[in-house]
A and B are shown apart, each in its own frame.
Chain A
Amino acid sequence: MKYLSNVTTLKLDDKKCIGCGMCEIVCPHAVFSIEGGKALISDRDACMECGACSKNCPVCALSVNSGVGCATGIINGVLGGGECCGSKDCSCS
């Protein structure tokens, strides 16, 4: 299953990347591969903007507007009730 194409805010700064491989390890959707000592975004549309890669990149080569991809949360946010539905297991536990 894939969600909408060409929406993710994920960006990789090639020049900063030191090819440590951390992003490949933490990404739950196998968005990255490491080729020639650099990270490569090989499956961009699989990105769910969880922010794991940018948080764990030691040289800040990655950026992404992370947030929950949850319509209920966004509706609650717009209505002023906080950005989450408050459920303790809105996704996998």
Chain B
Amino acid sequence: MNIFQQQHWIVGSVMSQGEEIPRVSTSLTSEDIMGAIKVRLSISRMDYAVEPGLYVVGSPDATSPVLVSANYKLSFDNLRKELEGLDVWILVLDTKGVNVWCSAGKGTFGTEEIVGRVRSVGLDKMVSHRKLILPQLSAPGVAAHKVKGDCGFQVIYGPVRASDIKNFLKAGMKTTPEMRRVRFDFLDRLVVVPVEIIQWAPHVFLLGLVMVALSGIVGTGYDVNLLCTRGFMALIIVLSTFLAGSILCPALLPWLPGKAFSIKGMWVGFIIWGILVLSECGSTLGIHFPLEAWAWLPIILAIISFIAMNFTGCSTFTSQSGVKREMRYAIPVQILLLVIGIALWIKAGLL
């Protein structure tokens, strides 16, 4: 119990069947919010986990509902902040600190863990009913009929979003079709941007450095002075293209024409290239020659198309067969574009 009581979100406890069960707060403190921001910005991604086990909100009795949660703290916080005024049990599973969707996909939010956790906390003695409410998005990992067979508890899939839980309970544990559907809203899409940027930044930086090294190639030899001018500008363009693409692709996703993400990304590439050429042609970025401006088009398209394609993992509607099919076409095209672009760009330097 000691480790529980060190957590700021634990507010007292209740006694049930001779055991002390920690009670959790339903409001998030600035500490919770800062923690969430840090995790989202990938500053501290590890160990954002809640100790698995049984918790309560309010003062539940033997007839109160049991909500099952992943032990990723963001998922847990997301749930408890919606439970104000309720009396419920929360069964926190050991999902290795991973969210519901990803842990269900890996099977850690799964039948075995649920059955084992129900037994280890002695849930059958704490409640008189035999129902567990699971987040709908855990269904890929859980076989409801097997849970029932193994421990007698019936799995009821609740809403996708914790914010619908009160309405779900009020309706007698019934979800509406709307509650069951995943959405992929503007904020859902933007919140994953930092993770994506951090994931690919080193690779893109490397590409920029290669271009810096190549920028010194002149007609007859190698001009080191160019590294700091033309080369440096190339690095800046590559990095800003990457950053702009990482934000614009997810932000504009539903409005970009095409189904494949790599094609959606191409449109953003055209926009960024257009802005670059219009605003900087012949000025500070040193794009003096039309060829150099043209060279940047395939390079930018390749970068943005790749970044957009990798956004498939963050989305909630791309299938693995679909992504594999998309990649089969997109990756060769992206590589070709990059090679053509860099060749043109080197050529532009020779002029």
Contact = CB atoms under 8 A, between A and B. Distances in A.
Nearest to B255: A1
Interface string A51-93: 1100110100000011111111111000000001101111111
Contacts of A2: 259, 317
B101 A91 contact: yes
Contacts of B316: 28, 48, 91-92
B319 A28 contact: no
B106 interface: yes
Interface of B: 39-40, 45, 48, 72, 74-75, 78, 97-102, 105-106, 136-137, 139-145, 157, 160, 175, 177, 180-182, 184, 188, 192, 195, 199, 253-254, 259-261, 309-310, 312-327
A91 B141 CA distance: 16
A contacts with B: majority SS: loop
Contacts of A3: 259, 315, 317-319, 322
A1 B33 CA distance: 31
Given A68-B320, A72-B313, A88 B72 contact: yes
Contacts of B317: 1-3, 29, 46, 48
Please indicate which of the listed interface residues B100, B145, B322 has the most CB atoms of chain A within 10 Å of its own CB. Answer: B322
B156 to A, nearest CB: 9
Please indicate which of the listed interface residues B39, B40, B102, B143 has the most CB atoms of chain A within 10 Å of its own CB. Answer: B102
Contacts of B314: 70, 90-91
B contacts with A: majority SS: helix
Contacts of A85: 199, 313
Contacts of A67: 320
Given A71-B309, A88-B39, A9 B105 contact: no
A52 to B, nearest CB: 4
B106 A56 contact: no
27 contacts: A3-B322, A4-B259, A4-B319, A4-B326, A7-B325, A8-B319, A8-B322, A28-B137, A28-B139, A28-B316, A47-B319, A56-B145, A66-B140, A66-B320, A68-B105, A68-B313, A69-B318, A69-B321, A70-B320, A71-B313, A71-B326, A74-B320, A88-B39, A88-B45, A88-B98, A89-B102, A92-B160
B179 to A, nearest CB: 11
Interface residues of A, number: 45
Please indicate which of the listed interface residues A50, A66, A73, A75 has the most CB atoms of chain B within 10 Å of its own CB. Answer: A50
A54 to B, nearest CB: 9
The list of the 5 closest CB pairs from A to B, nearest first, reads: A70-B313, A52-B139, A69-B318, A67-B320, A26-B139
